[in-house]
Amino acid sequence: MAYELYYWDGLQGRGEFVRLALEESGADYVDVTREPGRGTDAMFALMKSESEPHIPFAPPFLRDNELIIPHVANILFYLGPKLGLAPEDEGLRHVANGLQLTITDFVAEVHDTHHPIDTSLYYEDQKPEAKARSAAFIRDRIPKFLGYFERVLRQNPSGPQHIVGNGLTYVDLSLFQVIEGLTYAFPKAMAKRKGEYPTLLALHDRVAKRPNIARYLASPRRLAFNEDGIFRHYPELDSAE
Amino acid sequence: MAYELYYWDGLQGRGEFVRLALEESGADYVDVTREPGRGTDAMFALMKSESEPHIPFAPPFLRDNELIIPHVANILFYLGPKLGLAPEDEGLRHVANGLQLTITDFVAEVHDTHHPIDTSLYYEDQKPEAKARSAAFIRDRIPKFLGYFERVLRQNPSGPQHIVGNGLTYVDLSLFQVIEGLTYAFPKAMAKRKGEYPTLLALHDRVAKRPNIARYLASPRRLAFNEDGIFRHYPELDSAE
C-alpha cells in the first residue's frame, strides 16, 4: 500500500519536510487531503476517531497500513531507512534525529515570529509583538541556528557534503527547505547574512539540483510559499538590522 | 561506563524528563554539571568543541561512550529499550516517540508563557506579552493538550493504565512531570480543570508512588521547581479564567 501523508491542503508547512524525502526517493505516496473525494475531512476523521488506538495530536502524520506516525522528525526517523535516506549506523541515526529535532525547534520559532502571543488569533491581531519577536529572531536566532548547522557541516568527519555521515539523508533535504523558507520570509535579513554560511548554502544548492528534487520543485505538487504556511513574507517583519 | 547527562545545574528543566527515566530504571548515570570538579564548563567544552564530530545545539544531551545524543525525545527513544521503558514492538516505539514529541511541543509552549518575545531578555522585560500569552495558554492550550492525553489514555487498546502499550514507558514518566510542572506553575488554572482529566491524573498519582520515583523525589537529586526552569510560578500569569 502507498504511504499516506496527512497534512493541511494549500500550504507547504511542516508537511513539506516529509514530501521532500518521499519525492527524492521516488516513494509511492498519497497526499491525502489533496485527493479528490477525500480532502481535509479524511484527516479530521482520523484525528477525531474514538476507536483508533493511536490518534495523532496534529498534522502532519503518516499512515503506513495500520500504523499512524505523527510529528515530522518521527516520520522521517521511521521512513529514513526505508527510503535510503538515513545513515546505516544505528548511532548516526540518532545523530540525524537530533539534527532534525533542532530543525523542528527552529521551525517552531519561525512560526512564532508571526504568532508570538496566540495561535488562535490572526497575525494582524498581534503585529507589534510579532515585530518585536522577529527583530530578536533575526538578530539572535537565525545566526545561532544557521551558524550551528554550518559548524556541524564543517566538522563532519566524512566531509562537508552532508550534515551527517557520508551520504544524502533526510536532514540534508530539510536544511534545503529551511534555507528556501528563510530566504522567502526574510529576504533582507538573509541577503545580509548568507555569506556567513557558505557550506550550508552550497548544500542547499546541491539539493536543489538533484534530479528528483528539481522535478518535484517544478511540478504542481510543490505549492508556492504563501501567508498560510510556516514561512511567511510580511515585509514589515523583515530587516537587514 | 555510566551514562553522562549534560544539562544546566540548578533547575529541573528539560533534563528532568531524562532523569526520571534514569532514576526509575536504576541506571548508572552521572549528572555531569553537578559533579564537583566538572560543572557547567564540561558541558560547554563539548558544545564548543571544534573537533567533536557530533556537537549538540543545546542541552540536555546524553553521552554514551563515543555517542553524543541531544534532545529529550531523542535521548528517551535511544534509552527507552535499554532501560526497559519502551514498548517491545517497533511500531509502538514510534507511537511512543510521537507522544513524547507532543510533550516536547507542549513544554516549549510552557516556556513561551514567560518568554513570548525574546529568550535573551528577562521575564520582567516582557511581562505584558507574557500575560497575554499565558491567558491564551490557559484558555486554549492546556485543555487542548491535556484533553488529548486523556483521550489517548482512554483509547489505549491495552487499557488506560499506560499511555502506550501494556507496560510503563518513559512517556508515562514524562506525563507525570508535565502534571507536576503545570500544577506548580498554574495552580489556580489546574485546580479549576483537573477534574476533566481523571485518567491522566490517576496515571500521575501512580507514577509518584513507584518506589524508585518516590525515593528520587524525596532525595536531594530532585531539585525544587524554581523561576530558572521551564515551569515557573509567576502568580500574575496564573488564573482560573
Residues B101 and B175 in one domain: yes
Residues A74 and A50 in one domain: yes
Of B67, B98, B121, which has the smallest distance from its Cβ to A91's Cβ?
Answer: B67
Are A136 and B148 within 8 A, CB to CB? no
**Phi (first) and psi of residue B3, to 5 degrees:** -65, 145
A77 contacts in chain B (CB < 8 Å): 77, 94, 97
Q: What whole-number distance in Å separates Cα of residue B182 and Cα of residue A4? A: 35
B133 contacts in chain A (CB < 8 Å): 116-118
| Residue-wise pLDDT tens digits, A17-69 | 999 999 999 999 999 999 988 989 999 999 999 999 999 999 999 999 999 99
Return the half-sphere exposure (C-beta side, CA atoms, 13 A cut-off) of residue B112.
Answer: 26
Q: By the 8 A CB rule, do B52 and A152 touch?
A: no
Residues A25 and A41 in one domain: yes
At a CB cut-off of 8 Å and minimum separation 6, what does A158 contact? A165, A166
| Residue B123, pLDDT score | 96
> Which domain does A135 fall in, by range?
90-210
**Phi (first) and psi of residue A78, to 5 degrees:** -70, -45
C-alpha cell at B169: 514507558
Q: By the 8 A CB rule, do B75 and B14 touch?
A: no
| Greatest C-alpha distance within chain B | 52
CATH number of the domain bearing residue B214: 1.20.1050.10
Residues A76 and A117 in one domain: no
Of B73, B108, B148, which has the smallest distance from its Cβ to A57's Cβ?
Answer: B148
Residues B114 and B42 in one domain: no
Residues B60 and B76 in one domain: yes
Q: What is the DSSP string of A63-114?
A: EETTEEEESHHHHHHHHHHHHT-S-SSHHHHHHHHHHHHHHHHHHHHHHHHH
| Residue B42, pLDDT score | 93
Are B69 and A157 within 8 A, CB to CB? no
- Is residue B241's pLDDT more than 80? no
| Residue B1, pLDDT score | 85
* B21-29: average pLDDT: 98
Query: Residue B152 is which amino acid?
Result: V
Looking at chain B, the whole-number percentage of residues with pLDDT higher than 90 is: 98
Total tally of structural domains belonging to chain B: 2
Mean pLDDT in chain B?
Answer: 97
The single residue listed with the C-alpha cell 504542481 is A220
Interface confidence, given as ipTM, is: 0.97
Alpha helices in B48-197 (DSSP H): 72-83, 90-114, 127-136, 142-155, 170-185, 187-193
| Residue A1, pLDDT score | 85
| Residue-wise pLDDT tens digits, B149-198 | 999 999 999 999 999 999 999 999 999 999 999 999 999 999 999 999 99
Residues of chain A with pLDDT below 70 are none
Find the residue in B nearest to A133 (Cα). B117
B79 contacts in chain A (CB < 8 Å): none
Are A133 and B117 within 8 A, CB to CB? yes
In a domain, A224, yes or no: no
CATH number of the domain bearing residue A54: 3.40.30.10
Test the B interface: residue of A6, A55, A57 with most B CBs within 10 Å = A57
Residues A199 and A166 in one domain: yes
Query: Residue B13 is which amino acid?
Result: G
Residues B112 and B163 in one domain: yes
| Residue-wise pLDDT tens digits, B105-117 | 999 999 999 999 9
Residue B126 CA from chain centroid, whole number: 24
Distance from CA of A241 to the nearest CA of B (A): 16
